[in-house]
Structure 1
Amino acid sequence: MMLDMTRDVVIVGGGIAGLSAAWRLRRHDVLLLEAGDRLGGRMRSDPCGDYWLNYGAHLFPAPGTLVDRITQELALETVPVTGGMMGLAVDGAVLEGGRVESYPFRLPLSVRERVAFARAGLKVQLAVRRYHAAPNRYEFENDRTFAEFLGPLPPKVREIFACAARRATGELDELAAGAGIGLFALVWAGKGSLIARNLRGGTGQLPAALGQVLGERARTSSPVDAVRPDGDHLVVRAGDEEIRARHVIMAANAPFAAPLVGPVAPQAADALAKLTYGAFLSVAVETNETSAMPYDGVYAIATPGRTFDMFTNQAHALRVGPRQPGGSLMLFTGAQKAAALMRESDEVIAERFLADLHAMYPETRGRIAKATVRRWPLGNVYASPGRGALQPALEGALGTHENLHLAGDYFAELGTMEAAAQTGMAAAERVEARIREVTHV
């Protein structure tokens, strides 16, 4: 094996956490190693004529956030989500907006189901207020599942809440109550939400632009096999190459990070191994309509009882001025439901998703140009009961020489783009401070 020169920092993982760290440290001797053939992790999209196809992360944070600042520095543009984000489709009824408190009375439910839905919704609303005031969200309602918090529900009402929970890639009996409540807090914030913007051109534009700036300092198809101590440095092994580094920022998903950090920080490795991830399955749909569609003013609709759990209108950002032909949708599901569907072929998955799309919006029949399936076995991290106890082992500079730093969306009770980017930035700032101490710069 060839031992490379000593670098200031090696970053393992090219998702938004690793890319944010590399962006902060770009004026230092930094090397980012990504196992996959592209940067960005679940931030993936393809251009599609005047539109774009999003396959994973699609909601960007508000102006003034870290991701927004990086986006602006790269001369990219985010636009606000103006379409409804809290739609709900049950059986043949599609509610595209309105006060959520009215939903139990506008859906085709029995009296028993209406009462149960209204009571559970009120319970969640009251808990959201406590969530916003909680000083430590890792510990908030972290001792029971979301299913236990909600209590017994009629099957149709339970499926409505399960559909929402799968957005976080966890089932009701897997997701911690605090994480489930936090999910509703995020969605109910509406246009003032932290996640109420889209990137014009598609989510993948951001990692592509970061990669272009980083150039050869960001390598793809470079899986890391091991990290070991070497005096007061760390050695990163990637294939036949060994790279010595003063610091390592581990920004890979927790299941991949755990065995790598074990030789340096065993307690952190144990905590990482206990973090929970769920699957995410999406179908991006290019449409070729030539006139307005009934969902033009809508962004997102929850779809309990269908093959997919969420309908999203990715073309809504361009629905200003004269209505242009064509469009872009993303349909997705998560958690165990997604994992089970992944056993099917792409053709079967697309066929089932499109059949439910046509049942929901018959106007889409004969208007499908292309449907592309994307599978994310580690779709997102979510907090399960007891997650709060793992936090202390993950924080700060780790290892005997305090030169191993963790970054990733698992630092939040719900994995989001901004949460991941913030942890990458925090790790980079610690590294930069240590470099300045040593060099007195």
Structure 2
Amino acid sequence: MSSDQLDVAVVGGGVAGLAAAWALRDRDVVVLESAERIGGRVRSDQWEGQPYHLGAQFLAGATSAGFLDTLGVQRVKLPKKGGIFLAGRRRTATAASLMRGLRVGAGGLADIAAVERESARVSGMISDLVDPTAPTGLLAPSAVDLDSRSFSEAIVDRRPAVQSLYGVLVRSLTSKAPETLSALYAYAMLGSESQGGIGGANRARGGMQEVLKAFERALAGRIQTSAHAEAIKQTNERVEITIRNRDRTDTVVAKACVVAVPTPEVRQIVTGLETRRLRALEQVRYGRFLSVALFLRAPVWRGEWAITCDLPVVSTLLNPAVLTGSGRSRVLSSYASDDGARQVWDLPDDTVVDRFVTEIEQVFPGLRKVVCGADVRRWDPGYPAWEPGHLALLSHLAAPAGRIAFCGDYLSIPSIDGAIATGLRAATEIKTIISRV
């Protein structure tokens, strides 16, 4: 690679880094991605013409919906109701109607209404975290108070059946158990679908692969894959990135740099970070998740786009036909959250598939008879777990360091919406840095 000085180097070709590079496309910018493909934790494929996902996919809220439109990616409107498999039965319903079906009485319904109201309130309260023009981490004192407690603590006075229901929902939405999550984060995710906020009610037509294709078109000639950043250091005049590209080592020199990688990698490759940022980076935890796409000889469901599951390993079922607007239902996508994934993580793929099929047959009896193949993907690091106290870390994590700006879903509510917002925010910061040169 030429050592001529660029305007900007973006380290990391996930959604956050790609959004930053797109916003800086009028500059001399390059994206350096260590893998052979862009997308980070976004992963899509096709089986017999049916798009399906194996990684992150949820779009689009207020920020990403408009961004998709700008990129020229069509959207699919999702049905308002999903499904849930709870207490041995599959239901399609709202939380309140589920509670009626479980016969929790008027008190249980009042608890449900209270949780739903709080979810709606919090979903609006944290909108600045997915607004690329808003300062990071400057939320109301009530948000700070909520963030100091776990979701389990926040709902401890609710009836056991209500706690159980929301435990299942939170596990599916966040990949972590409610006792390990900030109440602020859990409430925000619960309110996201109904309020059209983070996550929103739209997805990319054709799947996330169409989003990555749009980025490739917009950044043609500016993306380098198999370019693993081994070290990033800066002087008063420039940033130097040492990269390994297969058997060759090069140095990329730029006026400024966007670092768009998970926190463990930030700590490893960026030199000279101040102590408080390093301490904050060490406190960000990631949960694993595992995805299995099952290929089917015949469809097993129609209409619903998701089923949240109260199963030992499998936490979520997704219908790629509805999610991608493809009109076919020959793939069933399934996910295991952190606790479930750890139970099968080290098992061979065929054993993992067998365990998934066995559990999912409780939801779709006879499924095994129509399964004709599978695709398994393990993600570690997977999902940034917003633990209690995470909000206080954001001011240390998000601030630029000299000529380096940072982005990624750990700097917002973990979501693709959050990743895009932090990428656009980092691009604005980089423009300010370059203007001072």
Quick check: TM above 0.5?
yes
The Cα offsets for residues 251-296 of structure 1, whole Å up to 9 and x where unpaired, read as 1011211233341444323212211211111111222217xx4x31
The answer to whether the 8 Å contact 1:45/1:52 transfers is yes
Aligned partner of 2:79 in structure 1 is 82
The answer to whether the 8 Å contact 1:288/1:326 transfers is no
Aligned partner of 1:105 in structure 2 is 100
Q: How far apart, in 2, do the equivalents of 1:230 and 1:318 lie?
A: 46
Aligned partner of 2:206 in structure 1 is 201
The answer to whether the 8 Å contact 1:262/1:269 transfers is no
Change (3 A) 1:66 1:148: closer
Superposition deviation, residue 57 in structure 1: 1.9
Q: How far apart, in 2, do the equivalents of 1:43 and 1:340 lie?
A: 23
The answer to whether the 8 Å contact 1:116/1:153 transfers is no
Q: How far apart, in 1, do the equivalents of 2:213 and 2:145 lie?
A: 37
Structure 2: segments with no counterpart, 5+ residues: 126-138
Change (3 A) 1:313 1:83: farther
Q: How far apart, in 1, do the equivalents of 2:43 and 2:12 lie?
A: 15
Amino acid at match of 1:127: E
Q: 2:91 aligns with which of 95, 111, 114?
A: 95
Amino acid at match of 2:156: G
Structure-1-length-normalised TM-score: 0.86
Superposition deviation, residue 437 in structure 1: 5.0
SS in 1 for 2:220: helix
SS in 2 for 1:139: helix
Aligned partner of 1:131 in structure 2 is 122
The answer to whether the 8 Å contact 1:165/1:175 transfers is no
The answer to which of 164-173 and 246-255 deviates more is 164-173
The answer to whether the 8 Å contact 1:128/1:182 transfers is yes
The Cα offsets for residues 74-125 of structure 1, whole Å up to 9 and x where unpaired, read as 433221112623x21123321112x321212214x7x6xx788646534422
Change (3 A) 1:319 1:60: closer
The answer to whether the 8 Å contact 2:230/2:243 transfers is yes
The answer to whether the 8 Å contact 1:288/1:325 transfers is no
* Percent of aligned positions that are identical: 24
Aligned partner of 2:252 in structure 1 is 243
The answer to whether the 8 Å contact 1:285/1:368 transfers is yes
Aligned partner of 1:312 in structure 2 is 318
Superposition deviation, residue 16 in structure 1: 0.5
Aligned partner of 1:383 in structure 2 is 386
Q: How far apart, in 2, do the equivalents of 1:36 and 1:411 lie?
A: 22
Amino acid at match of 2:64: V
The Cα offsets for residues 213-260 of structure 1, whole Å up to 9 and x where unpaired, read as 423421122221111122331211112212221111111011211233
Aligned partner of 2:128 in structure 1 is none
Aligned partner of 2:353 in structure 1 is 350
Aligned partner of 2:406 in structure 1 is 406
Determine whether 1:419 maps to 2:418.
yes
Q: How far apart, in 2, do the equivalents of 1:285 and 1:215 lie?
A: 34
SS in 1 for 2:381: strand
Superposition deviation, residue 353 in structure 1: 0.9
The answer to which of 414-423 and 203-212 deviates more is 203-212
Amino acid at match of 2:179: D
Aligned partner of 1:394 in structure 2 is 397
Determine whether 1:53 maps to 2:58.
no
The answer to whether the 8 Å contact 1:19/1:424 transfers is yes
Superposition deviation, residue 435 in structure 1: 3.1
The answer to whether the 8 Å contact 1:39/1:208 transfers is no
Superposition deviation, residue 3 in structure 1: 7.6
The answer to whether the 8 Å contact 2:76/2:324 transfers is no
Q: How far apart, in 2, do the equivalents of 1:83 and 1:317 lie?
A: 12
The answer to whether the 8 Å contact 2:231/2:271 transfers is no
Determine whether 1:272 maps to 2:281.
yes
Q: 1:331 aligns with which of 318, 329, 334?
A: 334
Q: 1:233 aligns with which of 233, 238, 241?
A: 238
Aligned partner of 2:220 in structure 1 is 215
SS in 1 for 2:72: coil
Superposition deviation, residue 161 in structure 1: 3.0
Change (3 A) 1:325 1:175: closer
Amino acid at match of 1:185: G
Aligned partner of 2:309 in structure 1 is 303
Determine whether 1:261 maps to 2:270.
yes
The answer to whether the 8 Å contact 1:229/1:264 transfers is no
CA RMSD of aligned residues (A): 2.7
Aligned partner of 2:376 in structure 1 is 373
The answer to whether the 8 Å contact 2:314/2:340 transfers is no
Amino acid at match of 2:168: C
Q: How far apart, in 2, do the equivalents of 1:319 and 1:41 lie?
A: 23
The answer to whether the 8 Å contact 1:286/1:326 transfers is no
Aligned partner of 2:134 in structure 1 is none
Q: How far apart, in 2, do the equivalents of 1:154 and 1:279 lie?
A: 30
Structure 1: segments with no counterpart, 5+ residues: none
Superposition deviation, residue 49 in structure 1: 2.7
Q: How far apart, in 1, do the equivalents of 2:418 and 2:325 lie?
A: 29
SS in 2 for 1:224: strand
Determine whether 1:68 maps to 2:65.
yes
Q: 1:362 aligns with which of 362, 365, 390?
A: 365
Change (3 A) 1:265 1:222: farther
**Count of equivalent residues:** 418
The answer to which of 126-135 and 221-230 deviates more is 126-135
